[in-house]
Amino acid sequence: MLNQLFQRAPTNEEFNNILKCFNINNIDDTHSITYLSIKIYKTIDKLYNLLDMLLQLYLPCKYNFISNLNTKRCLTILRQVIRLYDCKLTKYKVSHQSVYKIERNKKKL
């Protein structure tokens, strides 16, 4: 058990596959995510294609959460996975629309 959510950390290939579901090439990509972009890029369908891999990563008590995906849960999965790589998903409000960006956590001195 890695933490309260995961049995193990995703491999680099698995991590990149999750990012590609959101049309993000790598963790340092400056691409932004919106609810509309999740629908346009069919992120929910792409994550359902990775369901077997996600079930291996998450603890069994989280299976129901992963099996019933929606837009908000997709963002939650992304937020939880990138946290393992010392990043966070930051939310910005732009003209009454939520825009999300992946940012590296700042190092503490």
User: pLDDT by residue (tens digit) across 28-46?
Assistant: 888 899 999 999 999 999 9
Predicted TM-score (pTM) of this structure: 0.90
DSSP result, 43-85: HHHHHHHTHHHHHHHB-GGGHHHHHS--HHHHHHHHHHHHHTT
For the chain, percent of residues with pLDDT exceeding 90? 79
pLDDT at 92: 94
Range 51-65 average pLDDT: 93
Q: What is the pLDDT of residues 81-108, one digit of tens each?
A: 999 999 999 999 988 899 999 998 876 5
